[in-house]
Chains A and B, each alone.
Chain A
Amino acid sequence: MSFAHEPVYNNKAPIFPPLLLSAVPQFLFTLSQVVSFGKKMLWVDKYRPKTLDQAIVHQDIAQNLKKLVTEQDCPHLLFYGPSGSGKKTLIIALLRQVFGPGAEKVKVENRTWKVDAGSRTIDLELTTLSSANHVELSPSDVGFQDRYIVQEIIKEMAKNRPIDTKGKRGYKVLVLNEVDKLSREAQHSLRRTMEKYSASCRLILCCNSSSKVTEAIRSRCLNVRINAPTEEEIVKVLEFIGKKEGLQLPSGFAARIAEKSNRSLRRAILSFETCRVQQYPFTSNQVIPPMDWEEYVAEIASDIMKEQSPKRLFQVRGKLYELLINCIPPEIVLKRLLYELLKRLDVELKHEICHWAAYYVTLCIVLP
C-alpha cells in the first residue's frame, strides 16, 4: 500500500505529500524553502512572515529578537520548541533583520569535504544553504561522523571573518539545525569553538528538545523558547490566509482544523490547503482528512484491543513493519499507538502501558 496523499496537487508540481512533511519535518522544511521558487507555492511558504514585524503568532518574541539585534550585535542563540511552532520562520526573519533582504537569496549546495582523520581520510557530504552572510547546515545528517563536521568544517567557517564593502569587520552567522541530534562528542567539540571564535561568528542553534543539548552549550547561549501556538492563534492564522486567498470559511471550520493539528501550525496550514483542494466551497461538516499513517495506527490499536492471540500479534507485526518501511520513525509510531490505546483502556492499564511505552522508546535509542 502507499501512504502518499495522491492526486492532491493535480500533478502540476512535485509537491511532497503532507504525510512526509509531518513525519520528517526539519529536513523537508529546508527543502521546501528551496522549492518555493516554483509557480505553485505551498501556503506554508507563501504566508510565512518575511520580517519580524509581520509575525502573527509569537509577536512578543519577535519584538524581543528585534531589540536584540538593533544594537548590531547578537549573542549565540538557542531556539527550542516543538515542531511546527515557528522556530525556523523566526530565524529566517531574524537573519533578514540583521543582514537585510540579501539574507533571502540563498543557494543550495551539496558539498563534500575530505577530512583527514589520522590514518584515513573521510569523505563527508552535506547539504548547505548559504547566503553572503550566513550558512545553514544540519550536522547530524552525517550520522556518527558529525564530530568531524563540527571539529573541522564549522571551525573553518567560524575562523574566516567576512569583510564588508567598506572594509569594516563584521560577523557571520552559522545556523545549525537539530543540535539535539548531535552526538555527545560533537556537542563537546562545539563548546570551545563557540567561545574562541565568538568575535567573528555567531551561532544560531535550533532544536526540538533542549534536554538533549548539553548544559555546557546551553549555558553559552541565550535560550529562546518557542511554544506551540494555541488553537486560537492557529485559527487566527488560518482566517488570515483564508482572507488573503479570498475563501469563504464556514463558522467553526478553522477551529476544527486547529483542534486536529495538535498545536502544530505547519500541520494546520497543510491540512487547510488539502481541504481546499479536496472540496471548495467548504461545507461546515467537511471532513478534515487525517494523516494516512495515523489512521493506520488507529487500526492497529483496535486490532490489538479486539483480540489478544499469537495470530493477531503476527498480523500487527506485519502492519508495524509496513509503517517502518514507509519511513515513519518508530518513536512517532510508538507515541501515536500509545495515544490511541490510552483512549480505549481502563485506568489501571493506562499506567502500565505508558510505563512500557517509555521503556521501549528508550530501547530505540542507538547509543554511540
Chain B
Amino acid sequence: MAPVLQSSQPWVEKYRPKQVKDVAHQDEVVRVLTNTLETTNCPHMLFYGPPGTGKTTTALAIAHQLFGPELYKSRVLELNASDDRGINVVRTKIKDFAAVAVGSGQRQGGYPCPPYKIIILDEADSMTEDAQACWIIEPLASRCAKFRFKPLSEEIMTSRISYICKEEGLNLDAEALSTLSSISQGDLRRAITYLQGAARLYGSSISSKDLISVAGVIPVEVVEAHFSACRSGDFDVANKEVNNIIAEGYPVSLFLSQLFDLVVEAEDISDEQKARICKHFGEADKCLVDGADEYLQLLNVTSHVMRALCNMPEEFHYDT
C-alpha cells in the first residue's frame, strides 16, 4: 500500500512566494517588475545570483501574475536543465513557440494578459554550449536587462523563517534563529530545508544544536583536533586525524571551508603563512570539484598546512 500524502509538500514549495511583491530583499527587481505589471511592458531579463535567492521564484511569479492560471499554459514556456536543451531544442521548440503570435489581450479574470509570450530559461548557464551560442552569451546578455540577486541578509532570513515557524507552529529561540541564518549563508532554500528536516526529527521545539546536526556542520572539536595535529608537525599524527575524518564521512569540501575559517581567524599565524596555506586550499577545492579523491586531497592539504605552520620548506630539495 502506498502511503497517503497529506499536505506533504516540501516547505520550500509551500512557501514559495506567489506574487512578485512578496519576494524578499531584491528591491530593485521587485520595483521593475511591479512596474511591468502595471504597464504590461516587459523587457528581456537575465537573473543571476547565488542559489536560493529567489531567481526561479521571481520568474514564475511574474509569469503567473501576468497571465493567470488559465492562459499560463499557452503563453509561458518553461525550460530548465531537466529538459533536453541541445541545439535542436533551442532551434525548434523555442522558435516554434515564439513564432506564433498571440492576439492582443482581452483581460481575463483580472489578469493583465499582455499580447506576448514568456519563455523562462531556467538554469541557462548549464545549457550546452552550442545551444547558448545559438543566442545567449554576449548577444543574449546584451539584449537583456540584468538583475543581480543578492544573498539574503540575516534580518530578512530571520523574518521569513519566523513567519514559517508561526505558520507551522514551531518554536525557535533567538539562538537557533541566528544559527540557522548563519549556517545557510544567505541561501533561503537551504535554511527552509534544514528547518523542515529538523522539525520532522525533533518535533516542534528546535534548538540550535538540532539544526547543526541536521545541517551536517562538522563539530568544531574535529576541526580543531586536526589543526592542532598540523601544528604538532608530526606527520603520522596528522595522517591518523585525516583517516578519522574520512571514516567519519565528513565532506572534505565542507571541512576545508571550516578549517579555512579557523586559519584566517588565528592570531598567531603570520600573513605569509596564511597566504601559503590558503593557496593550497584553493587548489584542493578545485581538485575536489573536478572529482579527485577526498582522502588524498585532504592529506596533501594537511601536509602543506603543516609545512607552513612549522616553517618547513615548501619545495623538497633533492640531493644531487
Partner-B contacts on A (CB < 8 A) = 64, 67-68, 71-76, 80-82, 85, 98-100, 102, 117-119, 133, 148, 150-152, 155, 162-166, 168-172, 180, 184-185, 188-193, 195-196, 198-199, 209-212, 215-216, 219-223, 225-228, 263, 331, 334-335, 338, 342, 347-352, 354-355, 357-359, 361-362, 365, 367
The answer, among B51, B196, B292, B303, for a CB contact under 8 Å with A219, is B51
Q: Does B104 contact A (CB under 8 A)?
A: no
Query: Which of B51, B84, B252: most chain A CB closer than 10 A?
Result: B84
Q: Which residue of B lies closest to A366 (CB)?
A: B291
Min CB distance, A326 to chain B, in Å?
20
A346 to B55 alpha-carbon distance, docked (Å): 54
> Which of B1, B5, B248, B303 meets A227, CB within 8 Å?
B248
Partner of A189, one of B82, B189, B295: B82
What's the Cα separation between A155 and B82 when bound, in Å? 8
Interface residues of B in 283-320 (CB under 8 A from A): 284, 287-297, 299-300, 303-304, 306-307, 312, 316
Q: Which of B87, B200, B251 contacts A80 (CB 8 A)?
A: B251
Q: How many residues of B sit at the interface, in one of the four size bands? A: 35 or more
Main secondary structure on B side of the interface with A:
helix
Pick the interface stretch among B9-17, B22-30, B157-165, B260-268. B9-17
Query: A118 touching B193 by the CB < 8 A rule?
Result: no
Q: B13 and A192: CB pair below 8 A?
A: no
Q: How far apart are A73's CB and chain B's nearest CB, in angstroms?
A: 4
Q: Out of A74, A155, A335, name the residue touching B293 (CB < 8 Å).
A: A335
Q: Chain A residues with Cβ under 8 A from B190's Cβ? A: 219
Contact A354/B299 with A72-B5, A75-B193, A151-B82 known, Cβ cut-off 8 Å: yes
Query: Contacts of A190 on B, CB cut-off 8 Å?
Result: 82
List the B side residues contacting A220 at CB < 8 Å.
Answer: 12, 189, 193
Q: Is B246 on the interface with A (CB-CB < 8 A)?
A: yes
Q: Which of B84, B216, B252 contacts A151 (CB 8 A)?
A: B84
5 contacts between A and B (CB under 8 A): A72-B5, A195-B10, A222-B193, A342-B239, A361-B296
Name which residue of chain A comes closest to B10, CB basis.
A198
Task: State in angstroms the CA–CA spacing of A102 and B295 once bound together.
Answer: 39
A263 B235 Cβ-Cβ under 8 A: no
Which residues of chain B (80-96) have a CB below 8 Å from chain A? 80-84, 86-89
Whether the Cβ atoms of B123 and A188 lie closer than 8 Å is yes
Q: Is the beta-carbon distance between A351 and B249 smaller than 8 angstroms? A: no
- Contact indicator A209/B2 (Cβ below 8 Å): no
- CB atoms of A219 and B187 under 8 A apart: yes
